[in-house]
Amino acid sequence: MTSTPRVLAIANQKGGVGKTTTTINLATGLAQAEQRVLLVDLDPQGNATMGSGIDKRSLTHGAYAVLLGLSTIESSRQRATHATYDVVGANRDLAGAEIELVNLPHRERRLKEALALVADQYDFVLLDCPPALNLLTVNALVGADAVIIPMQCEYYALEGLSDLVNTIKMVRNRLNPKLEIDGLLRTLFDPRNSLAQQVAAELDQHFGDKVYASIIPRNVRLAEAPSHGMPGLIYDPTSRGAQAYAAFAQEVLARSHAAHAHAEASTAASTTPSKPTDEAPPPDTQENPR
Ligand SMILES: Nc1ncnc2c1ncn2[C@@H]1O[C@H](COP(=O)(O)OP(=O)(O)OP(=O)(O)O)[C@@H](O)[C@H]1O
Ligand SMILES: [Mg+2]
Angle, alpha carbons 231-165-37 (nearest 5°): 30
CATH number, domain at 33? 3.40.50.300
Q: What count of Cα atoms within 13 Å lies in the side-chain half-sphere of residue 252?
A: 35
Mean pLDDT lowest among 103-107, 262-266, 269-273: 269-273
Judge whether 41 lies within some domain. Answer: yes
What is the residue with the minimal CA distance to atom 15 of ligand 1?
Answer: 18
- Measured in Å, residue 41 CA sits from the centre of ligand 2 at 9
Judge whether 137 lies within some domain. Answer: yes
Q: Is 48 in the pocket of ligand 1 (CB under 6 A)?
A: no
For residues 57 and 90, give the distance between their C-alpha atoms in angstroms, rounded to a whole number. 9
pLDDT tens profile 6-23: 999 999 999 999 999 999
pLDDT tens profile 197-250: 999 999 999 899 999 999 999 999 999 999 999 999 999 999 999 999 999 999
Judge whether 288 lies within some domain. Answer: no
pLDDT tens profile 31-86: 999 999 999 999 999 999 999 999 999 999 999 999 999 999 999 999 999 999 99
Q: Structural domain tally of the chain?
A: 1
Give the mutation target among 12, 17, 20, 239 for probing the ligand 1 site: most ligand atoms within 8 A of CB.
Answer: 20
- Measured in Å, residue 258 CA sits from the centre of ligand 2 at 28
- Place 1 in a pLDDT band, splitting at 50, 70 and 90: very low
Cα-only R_g, the chain: 20
Judge whether 1 lies within some domain. Answer: no
Judge whether 290 lies within some domain. Answer: no
Judge whether 242 lies within some domain. Answer: yes
Give the range of the structural domain holding residue 216, as residue numbers without chain letter.
6-283
From the CA of 216, give the closest atom in ligand 1. Answer: 1
Judge whether 150 lies within some domain. Answer: yes
Q: Is 216 in the pocket of ligand 1 (CB under 6 A)?
A: yes
Judge whether 161 lies within some domain. Answer: yes
User: Is the pTM here over 0.85, yes or no?
Assistant: yes
- Measured in Å, residue 165 CA sits from the centre of ligand 1 at 22
The burial class, CB within 10 Å (0-12 / 13-18 / 19+), for 243 is middle
What mean pLDDT is reported for the chain? 91
Q: Is 226 in the pocket of ligand 1 (CB under 6 A)?
A: yes
